[in-house]
Structure 1
């Protein structure tokens, strides 16, 4: 029947789901189908799907199997796999089996959207029938049950097989266990039925399980009673495994007990490879768990775990859970940032959740929980990291309280993750809570020296930046920097990290010269203490290049940023976020330096890579879209620039407040494109609204407000309002000279436009003087460095000015 249903049509969008209660053999049916029809597929891939993190890891492994040139990061490999399967690269006939996928909403977006393959889902959830085809798996027919029972063990008469099948409820998992028991012991059917009935009655008297679980529990208790007598160590091993996930448990995890203790008989097995091997052999004899010798792992059905758990006393349960936590903590590589550790963390992830490790009070277990949260981020599954971190934060709040240090650290991490995924309101609320706790609990003599409190202060500064409160963010970072400098000295890694963040805030506050001075000092220290190959050094080196660009040295900025990009590619790879962001910023440097074709090439690639990694609504994707929009406009493709610009404006409004400087900056850039497309009135409306908000929030002399004002003057001139344009230009030029200096390119653009407006209102002499002075400065500031760099090529802005064309000023939102 399953074969027929799968042949009825394409199932890549609407999968075929096998659903039914636990123990009826859904997974076995999927395995049997894959086995019988393997010749019809080029590749068959099994995907554990109970938790999203497991799906991501399976897709990473599939990417490697498909030979895709990609990273081991989930948010890169996953989309690459889906696209390759959709296109049939390198295989057009594929079968994906999502096993135990109980939540359609969590799982469905991992499916390829097209192609010639097949998707098969196993689940206990009937709701899959609303997504695609659905096949319910029930218990065996009586004849199927009797056939399974007759395959092994002593011969059975028909009435004996029928009686056994009746007692076992025709449930495949229970039947399999009974058959394995009879095969191993040779016990007559009548004796097995007597033992089974005794166990069934015991279960009914104590805590009766659901009807469909009763046969499984009774059948397993028959075997477990025997194992308890024959091999106590084997029984204890099974009890321990009941606190892991119903996924493969690597035998290497059992080697981490060390000097800890769970139960004496179990301790002896865990500390002796030979005794452990004997215990596993006993488990295998009675089919009490699935032993996979290829992967050297043990796996247990979730219903069997429940049976084992229910047999234990509260004390035994507590000790086994504690033992599982101890072994998991010992298996922690303690390097969540390292790709080499990610496969181990992928294995630990599901066991940490299943064992309730978040509720452990063991320090190393709590550290493991934090490391899993960080691994999920560095591995690239940001949404899963947020969910996991939220669960840990809430658990620790309830158990340990808000003043517990580990709880506070998890709160900081969760705040950072909110910031990463653009949940800025949640980040703001959480950081306010964290700061209140730190201020309330910090001893007065430790206010300046607690690193966790300094981290919280920096987090608050970052949140204020995403709120658009740049001056407040800079003040918080200044306080953190001064405290760290006093407490630890300028060469301490904590101080260097805070110094870098202070530079970020200074740039957003518009103080580019102070940012450049601080970043150069920080870079010199990092080069001496960490070396250039350290990521922390490289990001500060990139900050220096950005500062150089914003202070007006476009050629110098490009010359700095080109080798930084090359180093990022060598160190991190082409698809790493740090590499992509460096590429985007190099595009901006190239555009301002005058190389518009190179800028467009870099902007196109950066935008494609960010959207492939994060989708098109992530903050970094939106910044890349805006960079691409401006690059398209500078290359003459106004319609494409308008399309990209509109999408960037819409996207920014979805994640930031409508008065956020990034939102208004996107409006200012779009307004330039609209004016060039012959829509000066719409451009004026955008610029006037943006200028009012920017001046109110940042001040009229902030660089963003000044760029907006320059463009507004151009809107007024395009509408024939030359006197208004002149007045706007004169006011803005005075502020530009104060903020940027007389020779900054932005000041020169403002002066160039004002000279045109002066001529338009009849002030010819004043216009000529300003034009002559501005042209001399532009030649010196823009042309001369570029001619040396580009072998005689002048700057396009100077050429446009000579032709009497107005200059357009762009805003490149800085990374928050």
Structure 2
């Protein structure tokens, strides 16, 4: 009830069912509406359905409870409505008298508000034209004006509070209360999944809750319906509520209105392109690249129009354009209804293909793709209504998305996506499809997953894929084709890193003989088979045979491929590693210096080879007694890797552990132990607790504890590591045997050990 003496005029909304107070926004509104000696105006802005009117209504009701002199509510959407509302206020306030002209009566009402000595409130709901509003705002006195609008230019009329979506907790609470589906009927996960699908939009949640309540649906049932039906069939206007239409109609109306102004065709194209891209946002550069036939100034103007209409928002730096997922859904539904979804999808696939970075993954491009993977995945999801036949053309992009994730070292995600992509290919190209295209695309999908597993060091999972790849290549191209020989070479490498060294040796020996027979001793396939065989000898601990073969590989590469070929550069780096392994550290340092000089001459500074070979050069410096130089170099490399690749990139993690090893060699034990502990925690978090590199970090930590004289802690650490090695890679892997020998030495030690050979990082 209004407080005694409060004049309430207009269609002030009642408090809705399950009203969410949104205390933070109410506090922000209170601050914006503080009286500052003159009439105050504030605008609540935001897209359709975010709850602007409900928040304004809550504020108005609170002013009534506070006993303000006047609370007047005027709907200001259409021209003339403000005059009509003020005319009504003039009548209710007794200042209209004999005035017949509505505009004169409105002016009298405004003047009356300006003269009131008590605080009062004028609400202009859903303002459509800021220019019309400006004329009727009280300019003097203690009357405050609160506006709501989807037009952001009302911000010029006063303070602004931008209204976003519910928080997840607010959305779940609202959904449960309105739908009357409580915790016993469904778990929190189902409610959260639904509110996230609806983007936490208050209007969409209200209408969804009403459908759930009326039809007795579970959240999961409604979610399935929403995902597979047009939005207008899944969300209906709630009878009795003041909102005049369903969320689909409301948003579609806003979109259509935005497309009728200046640059209408460009607005339409931009809206449709953004609807097919990631809801996390589209970088402005990518939006410009999507429409190369449009001037950059026009695209900037279009982004401004969409922002003004609250159909998109901008990131804090203004570089990313974000469209609410429900608005995206409405635009896609319209494309489907108009029969234009497939054409737009094909255009977007071409656009995304053009945005792919021109790199093979050897450059440090941590943020260079602007979320390109997310755009590819969003396009795939958006094309679902068209069916698998129409989505065949997107499969190559899906495979590329796996590569992009590997390149960014999002390895868990890359593996998950790789499994999904392979399943997509096997569904779209069933085993009964004997076409060459189907087989080649499925082969590519299997190799994408295999390489994701390899990058994540899930070698046991990669082995069967590598084995199947050999079979597939042989069937498609024949056993002596270069591609088949490369597949066999990859299988041998995967077997080696998986710890199956005898099998790897057999595969590489046979593949080297086949490559020589088919392509000759100087062919690239032969040189790759040769260096991988040398690597397997090294892994087995057969250093004499490994060294001879590495030296031959360098000579053969220089003669057949030339001194600057990538294969030759790699061969020289591997030989330097072998020199350091057998104690020829000074020779290793010289070879690394020559290699890095050539890399600087041939490649850009952002090339990852500098990080890879730089850390091994530092290790050789350390082995040759130049430990301080090694520490300085590793600190520089670590800073560069953290900046270029990120703090959690596997390359960064490796450099960090190389630095810890150098600190241990320099007897900086406390610093080394602290850094090893961080390395263990980082690798457990990023790679997993049972990853081989995580176990190696723990083994290094145990040996450093031993060298520092903390024998009991070291023994406990090494016992735990040995048990995990045996479970993860087997009792007879060289790493396991090395860890076992470390534990024996630790148990036998009677005094601190100051010189230890640390295992590989």
TM-score after normalising by structure 1: 0.51
Q: Is 1:469–1:697's contact at 8 Å kept on the other side of the alignment?
A: no
Deviation for aligned residue 1:594: 3.2
1:544 Cα deviation from its structure 2 partner: 1.1
Alpha-carbon distance change, 430 to 679 in structure 1, aligned in 2, over 3 angstroms: closer
Counterpart residue number, 2:180: none
Aligned residue in 2 for 1:158: 84
Q: Secondary structure at the match of 2:77?
A: helix
Q: CA deviation digits over 1:649-673, x for unaligned, max 9?
A: 7888896998979957974895586
Task: Show CA shifts across 1:29-83 (max 9, x none).
Answer: 99xx99xxxxxxxxxxxxxxxxxxxxxxxxxxxxxxxxxxxxxxxxxxxxxxxxx
- Give the structure 1 partner of residue 330 of structure 2: 307
1:545 touches 1:558 (CA, 8 Å); kept in 2? yes
**Partners in 2 of 1:515 and 1:251 — Cα distance?**
53
User: Distance between the aligned counterparts of 2:410 and 2:720, measured in 1?
Assistant: 41
8 Å CA contact retained: 2:615, 2:658: yes
Match of 2:170? none
Q: Does structure 2 conserve the Cα–Cα contact (< 8 Å) formed by 1:516 and 1:547?
A: yes
Residue 585 of structure 1: how far off its partner (Å): 1.9
The answer for the alignment partner of 1:8 in structure 2 is none
Superposed CA offset, 1:533-574 (max 9, x none): 555543322101012222332221122123334555676677
Q: Distance in 2 between matches of 1:689 and 1:295?
A: 49
Return the match for 2:447 from 381, 399, 412. 412
| Corresponding residue number in structure 1 for 2:353 | 329
Whether the aligned pair in 1 keeps the contact of 2:127 and 2:148 (CA below 8 Å) is no
1:209 aligns with 2:209: no
Q: How many residues align?
A: 556
In structure 2, what is the equivalent of residue 473 of structure 1?
504
Deviates more, 1:490-499 or 1:503-512: 490-499
Given the alignment, which residue of 276, 279, 286 partners 1:243? Answer: 276
Whether the aligned pair in 1 keeps the contact of 2:722 and 2:739 (CA below 8 Å) is: no
Q: 1:450 to 1:228 in 2, by over 3 A?
A: farther
The alpha-carbon deviation at position 342 of structure 1 amounts to 8.5
636-645 or 702-711, larger mean C-alpha shift: 702-711
Within a 5 Å distance, the mapping from 1:260-659 to structure 2 comes to 302-311=325-334, 312-313=336-337, 315-332=339-356, 335=359, 337=361, 345-346=369-370, 348-356=372-380, 365-379=394-408, 382=411, 385-386=414-415, 388-401=417-430, 404-422=439-457, 424=458, 427-433=459-465, 435-436=467-468, 438-439=470-471, 442-443=474-475, 446-449=478-481, 451=483, 454=485, 456-524=487-555, 526-527=557-558, 535-568=566-599, 577-602=608-633, 624=655, 627-628=658-659, 630-638=661-669, 640-641=671-672
Q: Distance in 2 between matches of 1:244 and 1:592?
A: 51
Contact 1:360 1:366 in 2 (8 A): no
Rounded to whole Å, the distance in 2 between the matches of 1:653 and 1:159 is 65
Q: Cα RMSD between the aligned structures?
A: 6.4
Distance in 2 (alpha carbons) for counterparts of 1:595 and 1:360: 62
Q: 1:778 is matched with which residue?
A: none
Cα separation, partners in 2 of 1:576 and 1:161, compared to 1, 3 Å:
farther
Q: Which blocks of at least 5 consecutive residues in structure 2 are unaligned?
A: 1-17, 33-45, 61-71, 89-122, 129-145, 154-228, 238-242, 432-437
In 1, Cα distance between equivalents of 2:370 and 2:465? 32
- Contact 2:266/2:302 (<8 A) preserved: yes
TM-aligned CA distance change 1:595 to 1:715, over 3 Å: farther
Instruction: Return closer, same or farther for 1:529/1:535 CA change in 2, 3 Å cut-off.
Output: same
Q: For 1:309 and 1:216, how far apart are their aligned partners in 2?
A: 12
Residue 578 of structure 1 deviates from its aligned partner by 3.3
| CA deviation map 1:307-332 (0-9, x unaligned) | 33333438433333334324433554
Residue by residue over 1:474-524, the C-alpha shift from the partner in whole angstroms, topping out at 9 and shown as x without a partner, is 433444444444444455545544444443333212233433344344434
Cα pair 1:668 1:708 within 8 Å, conserved: no
1:810: Cα distance to partner? 1.2
Equivalent position SS for 2:246: helix
Distance between the aligned counterparts of 1:685 and 1:343, measured in 2?
38
Q: Report the alpha carbon displacement of residue 288 of structure 1 after superposing the two structures with TM.
A: 10
Is 2:614–2:637's contact at 8 Å kept on the other side of the alignment? yes
- Asked if the contact 1:611–1:621 (Cα under 8 Å) also holds between the matched residues in 2, the reply is yes
Match of 1:141 in 2: 56
Report the CA distance between 1:287 and its aligned residue. 6.1
Deviations 1:619-669 (A, max 9, x none): 656655664455444434455555666776788889699897995797489
Q: 1:810 aligns with which of 743, 748, 757?
A: 757
CA pair 588-448 structure 1, distance change in 2 beyond 3 A: same
Tell me the CA shift for residue 388 of structure 1.
4.9
Distance 1:651 1:298 in 2: 33
Change (3 A) 1:145 1:364: farther
Instruction: Give the C-alpha shift of residue 446 in structure 1.
Output: 1.0
The 3-state SS of whatever aligns with 1:346 is coil
**CA distance in 1: counterparts of 2:621 and 2:556, whole angstroms:** 28
- The CA deviation at 1:413 is 2.8
C-alpha distance in structure 1 between counterparts of 2:313 and 2:673, whole Å = 60
Q: Deviations over 1:406-465 (max 9, x none)?
A: 34323323332333344x2xx4224414523653784297134262x5555445444434
Q: 1:335 to 1:415 in 2, by over 3 A?
A: same
Preserved CA contact (<8 Å) 1:642 1:674: no
Structure 2 Cα separation of the partners of residues 487 and 361 of structure 1: 41
What per-residue deviation string (whole Å, max 9, x for no partner) do you get for residues 218-264 of structure 1? 47349749979999967974556543446356244245xxxxxxxxx
Answer whether contact 2:450 2:466 (CA < 8 A) is retained.
no
More helix by share: 1
Question: 1:582-609, CA deviations, whole angstroms, 9 ceiling, x for partnerless residues?
Answer: 2332233223323344344445555676
* C-alpha contact 2:275 2:323 (8 A) present in aligned 1: yes
Contact 2:403 2:452 in 1 (8 A): no
Distance 2:347 2:494 in 1: 40
Instruction: Quote the Cα distance in structure 1 between the aligned partners of 2:676 and 2:655.
Output: 11
Instruction: Tell me what 1:253 maps to.
Output: 290
- Provide the C-alpha distance between the structure 1 equivalents of 2:319 and 2:679, rounded to a whole number of angstroms: 51
Classify 1:412/1:221 alpha carbon distance in 2 versus 1 (closer, same or farther; 3 Å).
same
| Correspondence for 1:802 | none
- Alignment check: 8 A CA contact 2:454 2:462 kept: no
Conserved 8 A contact 2:306-2:312: yes
Instruction: Give the equivalent residue in structure 1 for 2:209.
Output: none
Q: Is the 8 A contact 2:75 2:125 kept in 1?
A: no
The whole-number CA distance in structure 2 between the counterparts of 1:673 and 1:523 is 39
